[in-house]
Amino acid sequence: MIALFILKLSAGITLMWWLMPRREVTDGFFRIQMRVLLGLAVLSALLLSESTGEETDPSRAPQATQRSTDVVAQTKVLSIVVAVTAFAGSVFWALGRRLPGNACIHLLTILTAISLGLHSRNASTDCSVVQQLLSDFSSAAVLGGVTTGMLLGHWYLTTPTMSIKPLTWFNIAITVAVFTRLVASGWAVAGAGILLPETTQQMWLGIRWAGGILAPGFMSVMVWRILKHRNTQSATGVLFATLVVVFMGEMAAALLEQDVRIPY
């Protein structure tokens, strides 16, 4: 479960790098971001190494078990490639080589999207592949948007003269990601309903919606109003608080999905 969370976070971060107005941001930001992704990729590879071959559920067909093991192994290899590429990217951005640095961003976005797509295609849930893809990538977009936006806000402490447009862009991106996540959750409710049998599951569902949808949506409005006054420090504080509740919401969603096999 933690490996999947890291996979979604990595995919969301690289997606935001790929979409954001990179010309408006100084090289040092991407150098540090590459190192963050390097750490996430290494941790993912280690966690996947521990989980390889541990699928022992007797209710699953041998063919399905073998397929699951193969997906874990493939994702592990992709995580290692991501780590190597992120290290190379950190060197390029440290040297101010934007062309190869941007090439690394493109490659990392493709690699992490493939990894998350492999999970979506082989997830043990009671929904279609399209619904699972929408759920996973919308969650990744929310995680990546809030995380990268918060880190970008901190970067203004070292480069206060940088244009405020990238941070404004991230606020819009978070709003779009939250709306997409709302559509994905609405699809799950329309198909499976919300009548969960256990109180714990109901609590997880509440945390999922409050932390993963309502809180970032409300706080994006707060950030928008704050940025009208060009107060990047206050906006960063709000984004940091948003990051905490989004992490809680997505972890609750992972527990709920594992339990009821529905991507709420």
Q: Does domain 127-264 have CATH number 1.10.3470?
A: no
Quick one: pLDDT at residue 63? Answer: 63
Mean pLDDT of 50-70: 61
The pLDDT of residue 144 is above 90: yes
Q: What is the mean pLDDT of residues 144-161?
A: 94
Rounded mean pLDDT of 205-225?
A: 94
CA distances from 257 to 72, 165, 250 (A): 18, 37, 10
> Alpha-carbon distance 204 to 256, whole Å?
6
Distance between CA 11 and CA 142 in Å, rounded? Answer: 11
pLDDT at 86 over 60: yes
What's the helix, strand, coil split of the chain in %, to 5? 80, 0, 20
Torsion angle, alpha carbons of 264, 46, 119, 21, to 10: 80
What is the pLDDT at residue 49? 84
Percentage of the chain modeled with pLDDT above 70: 94
Q: What is the mean pLDDT of residues 15-27?
A: 96
Residue-range domain boundaries for the chain: 1-122, 127-264
Residue that wins the pLDDT comparison between 111 and 54: 111
Residue 56: other Cβ atoms inside 10 A: 7
